[in-house]
């Protein structure tokens, strides 16, 4: 069940891995590119790093950008924390698999959260690394980039729907979508942290009654 739900995410991640592998060739050798996907495992951070390096930015700018992009992981981790009963050492292992998609699947799935995070994370990780390797080797699915880019918002609509069971929750979801959209148009520079800001803002007020 976990693998079935993860499959569309993993497929999209694999294609983006290819695009990353091909694009990063301008700033690194093949082994370094694959190593980056093996040890970083973050499309947002890795794409941003390549983009900045291509514009001539230094390592400090890249690291600061990565820190900002990663700040949403704090919220995802906090949202997952209360559902994980595993001891600290096991949570440290599970933390490796925490990305937007796996956090979403874990929070929306009725399956045990630790197992969902592990299996969905491993699946997405394999897709990301293998995709990167294919991209480095010259595989190109650039023509599919637009389609794959459309898959992510559709899947997040699905996860939002699965997490929404009441009218109150539906209103919060709608409010977060509108706020995020407006902020993304107004300040695209911080778009990666906008969902976290909007989600916390609409989740703060308590439920009536």
| Structure tokens given for 73 | 């992981």
Q: Which residue has the tokens 């700033």?
A: 27
| Nearest partner of 67 among 185, 181, 193, 180, judged by Cα | 193
209 near other proteins, judged by CB under 8 A: no
Minimum distance, C-beta of residue 181 to other proteins, in the bound complex (Å): 4
Among 167, 204, 208, 209, binds other proteins (CB under 8 A): 204
126 near other proteins, judged by CB under 8 A: no
Alpha helix positions (H), the chain: 2-23, 30-39, 43-54, 59-81, 88-95, 100-108, 113-136, 145-162, 167-186, 194-203
On whether the CB atoms of residues 23 and 50 are closer than 8 A, the answer is yes
23 near other proteins, judged by CB under 8 A: no
Among 14, 21, 104, 135, binds other proteins (CB under 8 A): 104
Span 139-198, contacts to other proteins by CB under 8 A: 146-147, 149-164, 169, 172-181, 184-186, 188, 191-192, 194-196, 198
CB neighbour burial string for 152-180, b if at least 16 within 10 angstroms, e if fewer: beebbeebbeeebeeeeeeebbeebbebb
Distance of CA 107 to the CA centre of its chain: 14
13 near other proteins, judged by CB under 8 A: no
71 near other proteins, judged by CB under 8 A: yes
**What is the pattern of x (binds other proteins, CB under 8 A) and - over residues 30-49?**
--xx-xx--xxxx--xx--x
Number of residues that bind other proteins (CB under 8 A): 93
132 near other proteins, judged by CB under 8 A: no
55 near other proteins, judged by CB under 8 A: no
208 near other proteins, judged by CB under 8 A: no
């Amino acid at each position: 069940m976990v693998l079935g739900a993860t499959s569309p995410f993993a497929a999209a991640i694999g294609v983006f891995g290819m695009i990353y592998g091909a694009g990063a060739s301008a700033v690194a050798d093949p082994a370094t590119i694959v190593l980056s996907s093996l040890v970083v495992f973050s499309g947002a951070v890795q794409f941003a790093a390549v983009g900045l390096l291509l514009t001539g930015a230094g390592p400090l700018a890249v690291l600061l950008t990565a820190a900002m992009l990663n700040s949403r992981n704090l919220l995802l981790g906090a949202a997952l924390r209360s559902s994980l009963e595993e001891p600290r050492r096991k949570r440290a292992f599970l933390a490796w698999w925490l990305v937007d998609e796996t956090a979403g699947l874990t929070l929306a799935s009725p399956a045990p959260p630790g197992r969902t995070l592990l299996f969905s994370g491993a699946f997405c990780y394999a897709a990301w690394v293998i995709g990167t390797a294919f991209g480095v080797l010259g595989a190109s699915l650039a023509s599919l980039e637009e389609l794959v880019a459309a898959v992510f918002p559709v899947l997040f609509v699905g996860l939002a729907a699965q997490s929404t069971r009441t009218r109150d929750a539906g209103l919060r979801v709608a409010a977060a979508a509108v706020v995020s959209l407006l902020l993304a148009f107004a300040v695209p520079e911080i778009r990666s942290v906008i969902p976290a800001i909007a989600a916390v803002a609409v989740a703060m007020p308590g439920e009536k009654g």
